[in-house]
Amino acid sequence: MSWVDVEHVSVKVGAATLISDITLGVEPGTWCTIIGPNGAGKTTLVEAVAGLRRIASGTVQIAGQSISALNERERARLVSLVPQHPQVPAGMTVHDYVALGRVAYHGVLRAPSAGDKRVVNEVLERLSLASFAQRDVATLSGGERQRMVLARALAQSTMVIVLDEPTTGLDLRHQMDLLELLKKEVAECGLTIIATLHDLTLAGQFADRLVLLDQGVVVIDGAARDVIRSHELSDHYGMNLRVIDVDGSDVIVPVRN
């Protein structure tokens, strides 16, 4: 049974078609990563899943509910988003920023309940942010900031998280730390992840499933290892890519022509 159903979805801006007739079903507790060259439609697709893009045709359903039929607060209880360039208000503490994830439950005009506060504190502990709770967000490093943005998404208590290039701007260690945190949430909490990643090696190592997009359409959709080793990958990235096995993990190496 699919938890996220994308059925024949197309998105247009003016006369331009950004994605065309895309159909995907993502099962609960799995990690699906969208890959593809620049301009392939990756961000458009994940924004459509999160309800941030108007769909020209087709439907997106999460847990059997149509995203387009929900208001913002209802949608925020089903799917949370970690954008590529999150807007973080100045002058907030880490705790208060993460607590924004509970607004979908208590509303803007009501104070958070004891349950809301418990969820926030548990997420801060889980992501090793409790010691930073009262720090100004402006004082955080890039890795700490990304963990904080992820913590806000987790505080929404949704079973689906959409992430658009979550490792942007992070060094190798912090990229791995963040992706390991997400993998743990999938394994221990049954979280369903739909993400985009530019790094093909990381995409192949962490995702259960890869969907290769190019020019707004699905080229290949399958198990991560199968997609990484497919000839379509080199063809649609327009370059020679070599796959090397390193201790049982596939590493994708670009080779000069």
d(CA 18, CA 39) in angstroms, rounded, equals 8
Q: Please report the pLDDT score of residue 70 as a whole number.
A: 93
Homologous superfamily assigned to 1-76+160-166+191-257: P-loop containing nucleotide triphosphate hydrolases (3.40.50.300)
Q: Please report the pLDDT score of residue 25 as a whole number.
A: 96
In a 13 Å sphere around the CA of 175, the CA atoms on its Cβ side amount to: 15
Low-confidence ranges of the chain (pLDDT < 50): none
d(CA 257, CA 254) in angstroms, rounded, equals 9
d(CA 24, CA 165) in angstroms, rounded, equals 20
Q: Please report the pLDDT score of residue 215 as a whole number.
A: 96
Predicted TM-score (pTM) of the model is 0.92
What percent of the chain has pLDDT above 70?
99
Q: Please report the pLDDT score of residue 110 as a whole number.
A: 75
Give the model confidence (pLDDT) of 104-159 as tens digits. Answer: 888 776 777 898 999 999 999 988 899 999 999 999 988 888 899 999 999 999 99
Q: Specify the residue for token string 């327009």.
A: 238
DSSP string covering 90-132, please? TT-BHHHHHHGGGHHHH-SSS---HHHHHHHHHHHHHTT-GGG
Domain chopping of the chain, boundaries:
1-76+160-166+191-257, 79-157
Give the model confidence (pLDDT) of 166-184 as tens digits. Answer: 998 888 988 999 999 999 9
Q: Please report the pLDDT score of residue 1 as a whole number.
A: 64
